[in-house]
Amino acid sequence: MPRVRMIFSKRGRICFVPHVEMPTLFCRAFRRAGLRIELSSGLSPHPRISLGPALPVGVPAMGEPLEVWVDRWDRDIERSVDGTLPEGIRILRSGMVDGRPKLSGECEAALYRIIFREGSAIERLGKLVSEGWKPVEQTLALDVRRNWLDAAVSSPGQVGAGTMIKRFAAEGIIGSWSDVLVARLAVGGWSGESIQPLPCC
């Protein structure tokens, strides 16, 4: 069966569906669209579907990757699947990726946007960043703006928004998650300067 990669957005209330429940959600959509999903081998077969790095509950995402092995795929099927997904999830692009490295091997970096509710927090953060401070060792790039921070990190499977929020709290920049709004803007490769979108072909 062909291996299909899709990039999807996750916004609104659906952000509160845990990452571990997303494969079940997508499998239902695929079946409603009339697709057959390949099963894994072994004593307890399960649908062959994999997602990108875990996303904390409540964090919206603008470009999340998913791979699935299905019996067929084309633009009409993509539209059909998109129509069966719950409100808040939309397929942005897709394609067959047979021959490409595994998804986990191509998810080298992620870009987060962290919006601070208090102006004093971004002022303190800006001062720390100007002095060379980084929220995590895996920081690739930081861009401090008027009331938000764009942070690119490597190893997104091990380092994410939660790790950075803990560091911000430890530095006294914020008190807790309630002081920020967080979104993951992209997951992909790293060019040395920016996140590169994952290919879907």
List domains and CATH numbers for the chain. Answer: 3-105 (3.30.70.580), 107-193 (3.30.70)
Helix, strand, coil distribution of the chain in percent, nearest 5: 30, 35, 40
Tens-place pLDDT, residues 165-195: 999 999 999 999 999 999 999 999 999 999 9
Which tokens go with 81?
Answer: 């699947």
Q: What counts of helices (H) and strands (E) characterise the chain? A: 5, 9
Which tokens go with 111?
Answer: 């870009």
The model's confidence at residue 104, banded by pLDDT at 50, 70 and 90, is confident
* Rounded Cα gap, residues 164 and 85, in angstroms: 31
DSSP per residue, 16-64: GS-GGGHHHHHHHHHHHTTPPBPBPPSSS--B-EEESS---TT--EEEE
**Neighbouring residues of 119: CB distance < 8 A, sequence distance ≥ 6:** 147
Report the pLDDT value the prediction gives residue 189, as an integer from 0 to 100: 95
* Rounded Cα gap, residues 94 and 101, in angstroms: 16
* Rounded Cα gap, residues 50 and 47, in angstroms: 9
Q: Hey, what amino acid is at 101?
A: P
Contact (Cβ atoms closer than 8 angstroms) between residue 13 and residue 64: no
Report the pLDDT value the prediction gives residue 116, as an integer from 0 to 100: 95
Average pLDDT over residues 30-41: 93
The model's confidence at residue 59, banded by pLDDT at 50, 70 and 90, is very high
pTM (two decimals): 0.93
Contact (Cβ atoms closer than 8 angstroms) between residue 115 and residue 189: no
Does 42 score more than 90 pLDDT?
A: no
Average pLDDT over residues 94-100: 94
* Rounded Cα gap, residues 124 and 104, in angstroms: 35
DSSP per residue, 60-79: -EEEEEEEEEBS---HHHHH
Q: Which of 135, 85, 177 is nearest to 126 (CA)?
A: 135
Does 21 score more than 90 pLDDT?
A: yes
The model's confidence at residue 44, banded by pLDDT at 50, 70 and 90, is confident
